[in-house]
C-alpha cells in the first residue's frame, strides 16, 4: 500500500477474527460506500468507493497496559478534513466513545505519511480528564 503507518506490518497469516467485511474491528457498521480493502492479523484497511480516503485500524495493548483502538485516516496527497475526522470517529470509534488526537513531544514524533491523521480510543475506560466548563461543554 502506498500510505502505510508505522504499525501496519505485512503478514500473510489468517485474518483478524473480529473483522467481518461490513464492520470495523469494534463492530460498528462501515459507512455507505466503504469496503474492506485488506485484513491482517494486526488490523484492517478500508477504502471509500467515492473518495481516495483510506482508514487503517488496529487494537492492541500499549505500554500503559491498556487496550487501545488506533485509527488512522489518510489521503494520498492532502490532509484529511475535519469532516473526515468526524466521519471516521463516528463509524470506527463510535459516537459515545472518546477519541484522542495525540501531539507528542518532538523527540517522540514519527511521521511515516505526510497526509495521515490518527485517533486513539482507550477500550479499558475513558482516560481523558473532564475538561467541561460551567456550561457542560468543551
Q: Residue 131: what pLDDT? A: 84
H-run or E-run covering 47: strand 43-48
Res. 51: pLDDT tops 60 = yes
Report phi then psi at 54, rounded to 5. Answer: -120, 140
CB 70 within 8 A of CB 122: no
CB 41 within 8 A of CB 16: yes
List pLDDT tens digits, range 17-39: 444 467 888 888 899 999 999 98
Q: How many CB atoms lie within 10 A of CB 133?
A: 7
C-alpha cell of 105? 513531544
63 CA to centre of own chain: 18
CB 117 within 8 A of CB 111: no
List pLDDT tens digits, range 69-123: 999 999 999 999 999 999 999 999 999 999 999 888 888 877 778 899 999 999 9
Q: pTM for the whole thing?
A: 0.78
Sorted by where each begins, the domain ranges of the chain are 34-122
CB 45 within 8 A of CB 78: no
Amino acid at each position: 500500500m502506498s500510505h502505510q503507518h508505522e504499525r501496519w506490518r505485512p503478514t500473510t497469516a489468517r485474518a483478524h477474527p473480529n473483522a467481518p467485511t461490513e464492520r470495523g474491528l469494534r463492530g460498528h457498521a462501515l459507512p455507505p460506500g466503504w469496503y474492506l480493502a485488506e485484513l491482517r492479523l494486526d488490523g484492517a484497511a478500508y477504502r471509500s468507493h467515492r473518495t481516495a480516503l483510506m482508514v487503517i485500524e488496529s487494537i492492541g495493548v500499549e505500554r500503559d497496559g491498556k487496550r487501545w483502538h488506533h485509527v488512522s485516516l489518510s489521503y494520498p496527497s492532502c490532509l484529511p478534513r475535519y469532516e473526515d475526522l468526524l466521519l471516521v470517529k463516528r463509524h470506527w470509534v463510535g459516537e459515545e466513545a472518546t477519541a484522542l488526537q495525540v501531539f507528542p513531544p518532538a523527540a517522540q514524533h514519527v511521521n511515516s505519511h505526510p497526509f495521515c491523521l490518527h485517533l486513539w480510543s482507550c477500550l479499558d475506560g475513558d482516560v481523558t480528564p473532564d475538561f467541561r466548563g460551567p456550561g457542560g461543554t468543551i
